[in-house]
């Protein structure tokens, strides 16, 4: 477990985790399943989702898959999260009593993980202190991890980028983001939200374009919080450089809205399955989106 410095004193440091015993590499590895999911601060049951996806692959006659989870609204509970003092912080979204924080989850799966908090999760202190943000959790080796600060709206937001693969998988770049729900009151609140989210999307796109010179395949997933509809400018901004993978009909949030998206820019000779919205929310308020990928080596 590695903690790096964080200049934002209301949240704890980013965390990187590497497995103690890297998983066995099969002679014929299955597909790569890339999941984008807002887990609603520990309410999403990740092990249950992984079990269902593994059973799904077995029923299709595929070998055990590799997984990449692009997770939003994960949380970390730790004494490393500092006392906020008099700093104003977001209200706490209470995790379920049985919910594992992102560090516990990474340890239990013994996978690679990169977590960067965006904001505090309430005002608890000491060993009960919490923050929340995005995480990349993967059964594949992870390297070249970066964080991208987004334009501030109501709350601080940080997008993540990482490179995955090696040995039995070619290198792949992935990114995850969770955009703001609305703009500040002085900028139009709800009706200013699409403009703010588009600025945040432009920041992510700019960061990814700077990295694109190496030609690595790219998958981006996130909760774009498109409360004004799927045709918000933020979706179009990302789709200009990365092809949107439509999940078909059906809301991605229990409110009936489509808030969650996946985008991919992959080699022509890779086999890319249809993006699927899982029927269950597995305890979260969002449905997971799953993109199956088979590279040319499989």
For residue 226, the domain's CATH number is: 3.60.10.10
Please say if the pLDDT value at position 185 is more than 60.
Answer: no
Gap between the terminal Cα atoms of the chain: 32
Tell me which of 5-9, 203-207, 255-259, 291-295 is least confident: 5-9
The total number of structural domains in the chain stands at: 1
Please say if the pLDDT value at position 183 is more than 80.
Answer: no
Categorize the per-residue pLDDT at 296 as very low, low, confident or very high, splitting at 50, 70 and 90: low
Strand 130-138 relative to strand 66-77, pairing: antiparallel
14 CB-near residues (< 8 Å, 6+ apart): 3, 4, 6, 114, 115, 116, 117, 147
Per-residue pLDDT tens for 193-218? 899 999 999 999 999 999 988 999 99
pTM, rounded to two decimals: 0.93
pLDDT value at residue 155: 87
| Domain encompassing residue 287 | 2-294
Please say if the pLDDT value at position 23 is more than 80.
Answer: no
Per-residue pLDDT tens for 156-174? 999 999 999 877 788 999 9
């Amino acid at each position: 477990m590695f903690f790096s410095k964080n200049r934002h004193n209301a949240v704890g440091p980013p965390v990187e985790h590497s497995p103690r015993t890297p998983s066995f590499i099969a002679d014929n590895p299955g597909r790569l399943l890339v999941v984008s999911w807002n887990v609603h601060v520990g309410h999403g049951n990740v092990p249950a989702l992984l079990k269902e996806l593994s059973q799904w692959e077995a029923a299709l006659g595929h070998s055990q898959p590799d997984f990449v989870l692009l997770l939003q609204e994960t949380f970390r509970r730790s004494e490393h999260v500092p006392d906020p003092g008099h700093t104003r912080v977001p209200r706490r979204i209470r995790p379920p009593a049985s919910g594992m924080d992102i560090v516990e989850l990474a340890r239990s799966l013994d996978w690679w993980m990169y977590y960067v908090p965006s904001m505090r999760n309430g005002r608890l202190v000491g060993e009960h202190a919490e923050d929340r943000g995005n995480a990349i959790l993967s059964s594949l080796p992870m390297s070249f991890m970066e964080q991208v600060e987004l334009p501030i709206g109501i709350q601080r937001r940080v997008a993540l980028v990482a490179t995955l693969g090696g040995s039995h998988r070619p290198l792949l770049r992935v990114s995850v983001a969770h955009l703001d729900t609305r703009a500040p009151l002085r900028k139009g609140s709800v009706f200013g939200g699409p403009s703010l989210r588009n600025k945040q999307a432009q920041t992510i796109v700019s960061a990814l374009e700077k990295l694109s010179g190496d030609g690595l395949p790219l998958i981006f997933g996130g909760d774009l919080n498109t409360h004004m509809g799927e045709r918000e400018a933020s979706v179009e901004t990302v789709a200009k450089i990365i092809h949107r993978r439509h999940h078909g009909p059906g809301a991605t949030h229990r409110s009936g809205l489509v808030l969650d998206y996946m985008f991919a820019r992959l080699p022509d000779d890779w086999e890319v399955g249809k993006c699927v919205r899982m029927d269950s929310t597995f305890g979260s308020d969002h449905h997971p989106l799953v993109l199956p990928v088979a590279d040319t080596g499989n």
